[in-house]
Amino acid sequence: MLTESALSQFIGTEKWYRHWLGKLYTDGVKFMAEEGKAFWLIDAIFSYRRTEPFQIWELKKTGERSAVLTMKEDSDQPALVTQKIPYTDFPLDSIKLYYENDVLYLPSER
């Protein structure tokens, strides 16, 4: 079951997983995608092919079934990517993911 508590248990990774676009993601991101049925979120993030060395990706629900996906270079910076998601059944109200050195990971895995 995908919960904030379950995600916080990931404090490193034992294995990296290769996405079909060639980028890597961690055990925690794999767990999030499997439990939240959200491999589409990994696809969305990697499809942007941004070049910033450090990226903060955040999915936030904006209604009962809608959300917005944003990417910033730092938490105090403006969004460089904004994508409206008209329908999602993602179980959490929000999730933050980091992307650095061609690896997507949970903040707790840093």
How many domains does the chain contain in total? 1
pLDDT at 88: 96
Question: What integer pLDDT is reported at residue 3 of this predicted model?
Answer: 96
Residue 62 confidence (pLDDT) above 90: yes
- Which residue matches tokens 């105090």? 76
pLDDT at 7 over 90: yes
| CA angle at 42 for the pair 39 and 45, rounded to the nearest 5° | 150
Structure tokens at 78: 């403006």
Domain that holds residue 9: 4-109
- pLDDT value of position 110: 86
% of residues, the chain, pLDDT over 90: 93
The pLDDT of 71-82, averaged and rounded, is 96
Q: Can you give the CATH number for the domain in which 45 is found?
A: 3.10.450
Query: How much is the pTM?
Result: 0.94
Find where tokens 């995600």 sit.
Answer: 7
